[in-house]
Structure 1
Amino acid sequence: MKKIVVQCRSDIQQAVVIENQRLVEYDAQHSDHKQRVGSIYLGRVVNVLPGMQAAFVDIGLEKNAFLYIDDLLPVHMEKQPRSKPSIADIVKRGQVLMVQVVKEPEGTKGARVTTHFSIPGRWLVYMPEADYTAVSRKIESDADKHRLKEIAEGLRSDEEGLIIRTVAAGQSQQAIERDLGELRELWRTVKEKAEAGDAPLHIYQDLDLLPRLMRDVIDDDVQEVWIDNDQVYKEMKDLLVRQSPSLVERVKLYSNSEQAIFDVYGVHDELNRLFRRKIWLPSGGYLVVDPTEALTVIDVNTGRFTGSTHLEETVFHTNMEAVTEIARLLRLRNIRGMIIVDFIDMSEEKNSQAILDAITQAVLSDRSKTIIVGWTKLGLLEITRKRK
């Protein structure tokens, strides 16, 4: 059973996704902070560095944004020049560019931006200059994938690119066409603002927390959506009436003033446990999570778990428990980029393969693209997870 719980306060809105009574996703929006990823800006190039094949762009934030040459060249390899040109031949200092943020500013680094624009809708992701169609691999029916691909190809025009999202499975052509029309109109507005504006200028902001939940998370698999604020509850129902009317009745108002909704579901205690550096496993083993600027390292340890008679059995049991928790942590803490997992060494090849198979299966429910690269020569497991 999958449910969403939303707790609203004057300074922050928080939402969690609970699957089979386990917390798997967490999102929050502070009243004084807006996320940058997905936002589109009109920026001005302030520096071009041929030695790094990159440029710095003033988009109006505290730190200049970073634009790599691959985010300037066309999306398709066949449309790119045979040899990669110098970035100095493509952009000049003082040039005005429209860019989209793909990575939030972190620490000493500014935001990373691209000219490969993408705007998500309810059923589609619209890419105005990508020139291709794709269908989510998570749609199980091959027949439906083929049907949706044909619909997308028939609707697409000029250089447009379309990605059919997982939640579009079973949707009609009319629903997809309506979504595409709204996204085209949105893109037209973005271009008009850019043409009329002066850099640096913020042109487009992705949806706030609740509309984003409605667009990205609430689907037929969600049995209940609990919200503890009457106004927000009405807003969510109004959004669903327009986009997914069949799901409206699943939104429910929590009105118990004596106990916070997060306390009812034990959310705060679970968040406090799972956002620590050291996280205990049910058997007595534990994980240590160490994020760095380049990657995240997760170390698996047997801890207090001594097993029964065989060391290999003890190690395998701890590693298998770790698989379940690691897959959950990737989603819950939104761990992204490169991830290295140091499982406890196993001597039997069949056990290593079983761990690999288990974690490959466990990440299938992740909405962010997660790739299990495999074991390194040093026995570490490499994972990559799309930044979102």
Structure 2
Amino acid sequence: MSENLLINVTPQETRVALIFQGAVQELHIERTLSRGLVGNIYLGKVVRVLPGMQSAFIDIGLERAAFLHVADIWDARPQGHEGNSNNVPLTPIEKLLYDGQAVTVQVVKDPIGTKGARLSTQISIAGRMLVFLPQDSHIGISQRIENEEEREALRTKVQGLMLEDEKGGFIVRTMAEDASEEDLRTDIEYLRRTWSTISKLAKTKPPCSLLHQDLNLAQRVLRDFVNEETSSIQVDSRENFLMLQEFGRTYTPSVLPKLQHYTGERPLFDLYSVEEEIERALGRRVNLKSGGYLIIDQTEAMTTIDVNTGSFVAGRNFDDTIFKTNLEAALAIARQLRLRNLGGIIILDLIDMESQEHKDAVLAELNKALARDRTKLSVSTFSALGLVEVTRKRTRESLSHVLCEPCPACSGKGQVKTARTICYEILRELLREAKQFNPREFRIMASQVVVDMFLEEESQHLAMLGDFIGKPISLQVENVFHQEQYDIILM
């Protein structure tokens, strides 16, 4: 099966859609005014060290201070250990950092909601074939390259290209699986030049300066997204097509034959129905072809996905219907995680199945569908409550967080108080106001639906309150007010 990549570029944003088997599988959006920060390297300034949390806040020039945990400080790790383990304690953060200290850091997670960016002092610079680790000295191989002979051959190739006094190590990416020695040499030279520039800037720039910015979205497509299954990369902007051609000649020459300039009259995203898919990806409900459906609810703590049979009754019996719905849901869930870029803890509430054989088959189908995901994730078995827990690495904001904002009427709750509830709130507020003030008249300013409720079903209660406080109460429709908004004017 072949993949197609669509790149839609406008002055205000770049959008990328990955099409596989005729359906949109991934959507990536990068806005000019709010480019993602992941991969950027800064010269930060320590604002505050928190020994109790073993973390520190670092000023990198953003609106909110960024967060650095001791586990993400390379110097905290004991010599001879590639990472922390339960048996090897880290050096306490108060012995490594102090207020006002300048430190070179890299963003590993974008700011999300009220949380600042997450930082690490272990710098990594990605090329097309390799990732350069300036502080490390080992050569790692991507876990997706499973053939042991091939892994060893790649390690030998990279070692042969390294200088005798080479400082730093490399991780061989999946893209390097069939790479020639020349491809690897070109990538190593690019990474060395990049790190040399960053090192010089770190010595001359003031704190809170940007030392290195990751590639823009269109360039990352050529570096990270293209693989042997990619049949075409269509770009609808001539200027950016030429820019990507130039970038490709320098860094990704093998990708150039797949790069195409789209010149059709219809917008590129309309041609492949991507705009419709974006609208559907912002909704809670996802319909399955069988008649079943998913309900996806995203909160700050986690995302829940509930599976329902809906109108699907095609199975031989009820157990068969449930099994077939869950199998279809497993494929749809894997696609929705990529499409919506959902990360963190994801709880799947599949329909309860009695048969262990059915449970194993659904889990196998889910893992198979998730194998195409380029983001690191893990899947648990069924819990005692019949739930499956998925954790998916969260580095950038989800699609809904990029395109949407909390509803001004409900403040992000996803629901609003009924008109009757607002009427009763107003009646209580009127009673409080009448006890404190003595105006000639009270005027209620509210939305049309609330005023209608007072004029019809709640007219008796409003009249009773008017008689009780001994003051006239008038109503005024305020069209700009939403349902929960009202004001009481003392006349």
Q: TM-score, normalised by structure 1?
A: 0.94
Other-structure match for 1:299: 306
CA–CA separation in structure 1 for the residues paired with 2:284 and 2:330? 17
The aligned amino acid for 2:288 is: L
Please state how far the C-alpha of 1:271 moved relative to its aligned partner: 1.7
1:96 has 2:99 as partner: no
1:80-159 equivalent positions in 2, closer than 5 A = 82-139=88-145, 141-156=147-162
Shift of 1:220: 2.6
Equivalent residue, structure 2, for 1:349: 356
**Correspondences of 1:141-180 after superposition (within 5 Å):** 141-156=147-162, 160-180=168-188
SS of residue in 1 equivalent to 2:381: strand
Deviations along 1:27-75, one digit per CA (max 9) or x if unpaired, are 1222222211111111111111111111111111000001111011238
Number of corresponding residues: 387
Query: Cα distance 1:160–1:261, how it changes in 2: closer, same or farther (>3 A)?
Result: same
Residue 288 to residue 66, structure 1, CA distance change in 2 (3 Å): same
Distance 1:152 1:122 in 2: 14
Secondary structure of 2:34's partner?
coil
Whichever residue aligns with residue 13 of structure 1, its letter is: T
Distance in structure 2 (CA, Å) of the matches to 1:177 and 1:38: 22
Q: 1:235 aligns with which of 243, 249, 253?
A: 243
- The one-letter code sitting in structure 1 at the alignment partner of 2:93 is I
Secondary structure (helix, strand or coil) at the match of 1:186 reads helix
| Alpha-carbon separation, structure 1, partners of 2:156 and 2:382 | 38
CA distance in 2, matches of 1:38, 1:297: 29
Name the SS of the counterpart of 1:15 in structure 2: strand
Q: Give the aligned partner of residue 190 of structure 1.
A: 198
Of 213, 230, 247, the residue aligned with 2:255 is 247
Task: Give the residue type in structure 1 aligned to 2:242.
Answer: K
Letter in 2 for 1:74: R
Structure 1 residues 244 and 108: CA distance shift in structure 2, 3 A: closer
Return the letter of the residue paired with 1:242: T
Q: 1:82 to 1:166 in 2, by over 3 A?
A: closer
2:5/2:17 contact within 8 Å kept: yes
Q: CA shift at 1:78, angstroms?
A: 6.1
Say whether residues 1:74 and 2:77 are aligned partners.
yes
Could you tell me which amino acid in structure 2 is paired with residue 168 of structure 1?
A
What aligned pairs does 1:236-275 form with structure 2 within 5 A after superposition? Answer: 236-257=244-265, 259-275=266-282
SS at match of 1:252: strand
Letter of the 1:211 partner, please give it.
Answer: Q
Deviation (angstroms), 1:272:
1.2
Unaligned stretches of 5+ in structure 1? none
Deviations 1:255-284 (A, max 9, x none): 123x21111101111121123221111111
Q: 1:24 to 1:85 in 2, by over 3 A?
A: same
2:426 aligns with: none
8 Å CA contact 1:144–1:170 kept in 2: the answer is: no
Shift of 1:202: 1.2
Find 2:213's aligned residue among 205, 209, 212. 205
Aligned residue for 2:290, secondary structure, equals coil
- The one-letter amino acid paired with 2:354 is S
- Tell me the residue number matched to 1:57: 58
Residue identity matched to 1:97: V
Note the C-alpha offset of 1:206: 0.4
Q: 2:171, 2:115 → 1: CA distance?
A: 30
Tell me, in whole angstroms, the C-alpha distance in 1 between the residues paired with 2:139 and 2:314. 51
Q: What SS class does the counterpart of residue 318 from structure 1 fall into? A: helix
**Structure 1 residues 309 and 268, CA, compared in 2 at 3 Å: closer, same or farther?**
same
**Structure 2 segments unaligned to the other structure (5+ residues):** 396-491
- C-alpha distance in 2, partners of 1:207/1:25? 19
Q: How many angstroms does 1:141 deviate by?
A: 4.1
CA distance 1:102–1:227, shift in 2 (3 Å): same
Alignment root-mean-square deviation, CA: 1.9
Partner of residue 214, structure 1: 222
Displacement, 1:212? 0.7
Instruction: Return closer, same or farther for 1:338/1:199 CA change in 2, 3 Å cut-off.
Output: same
Cα gap change, 1:140/1:70 in structure 2, threshold over 3 Å: closer, same or farther? closer
Q: CA deviation at 1:153?
A: 3.6
Superposed CA deviations along residues 55-111 of structure 1, whole A, max 9, x for unmatched, are: 111111000001111011238746769433432122111111111111111121111
Counterpart amino acid of residue 290 in structure 2? S
Counterpart position of 1:37 = 38
Mapped partners of 1:376, 1:59: distance in 2:
42
Amino acid at match of 1:38: G
Bigger RCO of structures 1 and 2 (CA < 8 A, at least 6 apart): 1
Aligned to 1:369: 376
The alpha-carbon deviation at position 133 of structure 1 amounts to: 1.9
How far does the alpha carbon of each residue in 1:283-335 deviate from its partner, in whole angstroms, 9 at most, with x for none?
Answer: 11111222222322222111222333412111111111111111112222221
SS of 1:332's equivalent in the other structure is: helix
CA–CA separation in structure 1 for the residues paired with 2:10 and 2:370: 32
Of the three residues 292, 298, 308, the one matched with 2:315 is 308
- 2: distance between equivalents of 1:130 and 1:367? 24
Amino acid of the structure 1 residue aligned with 2:249: V
> Structure 1's 355 and 130: CA in aligned 2 closer, same or farther, altered over 3 A?
farther
Q: Secondary structure at the match of 2:234?
A: strand
The one-letter amino acid paired with 1:386 is K
Deviation at 1:250, TM superposition (A): 2.0
CA contact (8 A) 2:186 2:251 kept: no
Q: Would you say the 8 A contact 1:374–1:383 is kept in 2?
A: no
Amino acid at match of 2:143: R
How many angstroms does 1:193 deviate by? Answer: 0.7
Between 316-325 and 128-137, report the one with greater CA deviation: 128-137
Conserved? CA contact 2:8–2:15, under 8 Å: yes
Q: What are the Cα deviations for residues 174-221 of structure 1, in whole angstroms up to 9, with x where unaligned?
A: 211220121111111111111111111111110001111110112332
Out of 328, 338, 360, the residue aligned to residue 331 of structure 1 is 338
